[in-house]
Chain A
Amino acid sequence: MAEMVVEASMALALGAKLCRPKVVSMYPITPQTHIVERLADFISNGELDAEMIHAESEHSAMAAMIGAAATGVRTYTATCSQGFALMFELLPIMAGNRLPGVMSVANRALSAPINIWNDHSDAVSARDQGWIQIYCESTQEAIDTTIQLYKVSEDHNVLLPAMVCIDGFTLSHVCERAIVPEQGEVDEFLPAFKPFVTLDPDKPVSIGPISFPNTYMEFKKQQHDAIMGALPIIQKVHDEYAKKFGRAYGNGLIEEYRMKDAERAIIGMGTLCGTGRIAVDELRAKGEKVGMIKLRSLRPFPVKELQKIAKNLKGLSVIDRHVSMGFEGPLCTDVRSALYGSGIEVNGFIAGLGGRDITVDRLQKALLSTKTHKQGEWLL
């Protein structure tokens, strides 16, 4: 295992390489580009034995990933923002066909107006499409989560694609220390992909043909059961990984920070949680009983784990890096629903859209808002 200073994008490429995907289909888009550029390097210099499909669009990149996965090989892609939006049509097809694979998303705002910077509006908009979605805070977590999610995705009790989400620029373009595991260690942890069903001319099958009203709901119920059933599997794989590699992120689904005697807390996803730790430490030093909850798994959503961590809170402020236009932050909706009837005051904040900085000050304002029963707001 080698520790180095590495850009998060490069680290994701290294993480993906360690998982030995056989097909990397991609289309470059800022700020995801560095990831696929590095993978193209690895394939061209022989470090990674994979087929690179440089598609003519993200739509085609996802179509190629689906086709490749259906032939029974491990697949990888990466995208964000408008590219993600262009892939959208195919996202439920990959999940509905129960094909495993991992996609990195360097989360970026959606147009218009054009904005290349970070928020979660791309991936969060697709939360209902059957993909597992894990949000990462650091370069190290991004590498570790990539390796974990191949194992989760390919588990025959799951068989669903998964997204590793990192904040575009705010993490993707940061260089920091990270430990890159050895190939041998990853090979021990992640066995070769065993497909459940494959497209094979000698044994013809159809994948994803029409389903009439008398069967469609059963397919969807199975798919929903599979992603709900992924909750303990994400946890189990995370724990196995933690045991082997010595790094853990809460229980794999959700992480808590100084929550033991906390009366108030914030909950959020991604890099804002790092800044949140500082916000909490500073307020703790002033005697405020505050804490932070970092949500890793947006889908499947760990309802019971959140209830357990939050149970002694008086107030919880939700930081959404996306707004469901016409209502509120989608994470806030999820948290309110999960905590319904608990009596905990849940306050929703919209922050960090299109690269607006999420600062310690802004998070402290959100943290203390429930103390004076202030309404949630846009942290402009």
Chain B
Amino acid sequence: MALKEVRIHGRGGQGAVTSSQILAITAFFDGKYCQAFPSFGVERRGAPVEAFTRISDKPIQVRQQVYEPDYVMVLDPTLMEVVDVAKGLKKDGILIINSDKKPEEFKLDTKAKVKTIDVTKVALEVIGKPFVNVAVLGAFAAITGEITLASINKAIDQEFAEKMKVGELNKKTAEKLFNMAKGA
């Protein structure tokens, strides 16, 4: 597998940076090399933020920013109106939006595949709170095939070691989203 680049759009406080990090840890458990970093902005709660993850079979040397991601994930559907989420996305790439709408409703200027999945709804059902940043990785795994569900679970076990209950609920949500995305 060549180097794959992922950009995650979220709002400050929503956990996009954690999302990028857990994605990197998951890739590591899959035996891959990884790099996760925030957009280095001055973060404020509620403001649009970005985080990035690189995944590769080989050690990752490049340290420039991500300009042409292979995958983009949008954690908050309200960002669609304020951020050009498809910017630079490779034409054979995939855009995953947390939304209850259909992809064509967004009228995006991109040749990339667009997928929508209602992560918030599933998170509210399972966790009871709109925690989407970790669970979305279940959908990412099913849609892209870049990471495995087993490694997501391992990454959650490690990162939520002190919050096992939330960790377990995140695992359940991720699995549900994985199956939904696989079936879609």
Contact = CB atoms under 8 A, between A and B. Distances in A.
Interface of A: 4-5, 7, 116-117, 169-171, 173-177, 271-272, 274-275, 277-278, 355, 357-360
B61 A174 contact: no
Interface of B: 20-21, 24-25, 28, 33-38, 40, 42, 60-65, 67
B37 A271 contact: no
9 contacts: A173-B38, A173-B40, A175-B21, A175-B34, A175-B35, A274-B63, A278-B62, A355-B40, A360-B62
Contacts of A275: 61-64
Nearest to A278: B62
Contact of B34 (A5, A170, A171): A5
Nearest to A358: B64
Given A116-B42, A117-B40, A177 B28 contact: yes
A173 B62 contact: no
A359 B28 CA distance: 25
Given A173-B37, A272-B63, A275-B64, 19 more contacts: A4-B28, A5-B28, A170-B40, A170-B63, A173-B38, A175-B25, A175-B34, A175-B35, A175-B37, A176-B24, A176-B60, A177-B34, A274-B61, A278-B61, A278-B62, A357-B64, A359-B67, A360-B62, A360-B64
Nearest to A140: B59
Contacts, number: 61
A174 B60 CA distance: 12
B21 A5 contact: yes
Contacts of B37: 169, 173-175
Given A116-B42, A169-B40, A175 B64 contact: no
A272 B63 CA distance: 7
Contacts of B34: 5, 175-177
A139 to B, nearest CB: 9
B64 A359 contact: yes
Contacts of A271: 63
A176 B64 contact: no
Contacts of B33: 176-177
Given A169-B40, A175-B35, A176-B36, A5 B24 contact: yes
A174 B35 contact: yes
A176 B35 contact: yes
Contacts of B35: 174-176
Contacts of A7: 21
Q: Which 5 A-B pairs have the closest CB atoms?
A: A271-B63, A274-B61, A175-B36, A169-B40, A274-B63
A377 B105 CA distance: 47
Contacts of B63: 170-171, 174, 271-272, 274-275, 358
Contacts of A272: 63
B149 to A, nearest CB: 18
Nearest to B20: A175
A268 to B, nearest CB: 11
A228 B139 CA distance: 57
B65 to A, nearest CB: 5
Contacts of A358: 63-64
Interface centre among B24, B28, B63 (most CB of A within 10 A): B63
A357 B65 contact: yes
A277 B58 CA distance: 14
Contacts of B64: 275, 357-360
